[in-house]
Amino acid sequence: MEKEKLPKDIISIAWILVLGALPPMLDTTIVNIAVNDLTKMFSANFAVAQWVVTGYTLALGIAVPFSGWMMKKYDGKKMFMGALGLFLVSSLLCGIAWDMPSLIVFRVLQGFASGLMIPTLTTLIVQIAGNDNLGRVMSIVGIPIVFAPIIGPVIGGLILQYLSWHWLFFVNLPIGCIALLMMQWKLP
């Protein structure tokens, strides 16, 4: 029995959602390689600087349960775009952080936004794909989502080698802005 091809509109929407989810996925690991550099830049001890990573991860975990409630209260598209917008604003704030406490606070905000996006992404994919196409769409979405945290430290290392630490966060802005524009235009 020959399977039907996935409709192009479903594939394009899935890729737009993945594009929006890439910055938070990268940020789960991109900063890990920079903890020592951030310690030196902000004249902080390692235990305090480690909160840049830990705060993000904790906030991400705390936000996940809120996403289900927010999906019921608000439209999925608005929620995903709002969380991505919050993520981008907090990325900008992280990039212009003036000391270690401000960077930690902005990373917590960034992690919270990321925690809202990840389950919302899955819910939107399920809604868009439907039962018949779900497996095939999830396989398209799953590869970049799994690959992004793996490549995060490599990208972080390249940024630290050739640019300033600020770009660990500014790198999210063009990708996220393009994703927001495409979501506004294409997402049902």
Reported confidence tier of residue 102, pLDDT bands at 50, 70, 90:
very high
Asked if residue 64 lies in contact with residue 84, where contact means CB atoms within 8 angstroms, the answer is no
Question: How much is the pLDDT for 6?
Answer: 77
Q: Is the pLDDT of residue 160 over 80?
A: yes
Question: Which tokens sit at 181?
Answer: 């524009």
What's the whole-number mean pLDDT along residues 54-62? 95
Q: What is the pTM of this model?
A: 0.91
Cα 138 from Cα 123, distance rounded (Å):
11
Asked if residue 186 lies in contact with residue 14, where contact means CB atoms within 8 angstroms, the answer is no
The lowest-confidence range among 93-102, 137-146, 169-178 is 137-146
Question: Which tokens sit at 4?
Answer: 């039907």
Selection from 157, 158, 154, 35 nearest residue 104 by Cα: 35
Q: Is the pLDDT of residue 65 over 80?
A: yes
Q: Is 53 helix (H, G, I), strand (E, B) or coil?
A: helix
Reported confidence tier of residue 3, pLDDT bands at 50, 70, 90:
low
Positive or negative torsion for Cα 51, 96, 173, 162: negative
- Averaged confidence pLDDT in the chain: 90
Q: Is the pLDDT of residue 1 over 50?
A: no
Q: How many CB atoms are located within 10 Å of the residue 125 CB?
A: 22
- pLDDT tens column, 132-158: 778 888 877 888 778 888 999 999 999
Cα 187 from Cα 21, distance rounded (Å):
14
Cα 177 from Cα 92, distance rounded (Å):
12
* Angle between helix 100-162 and 8-27 (nearest 10): 110
Half-sphere exposure (Cβ direction) of 140: Cα atoms closer than 13 Å: 20
The lowest-confidence range among 4-8, 74-78, 83-87 is 4-8
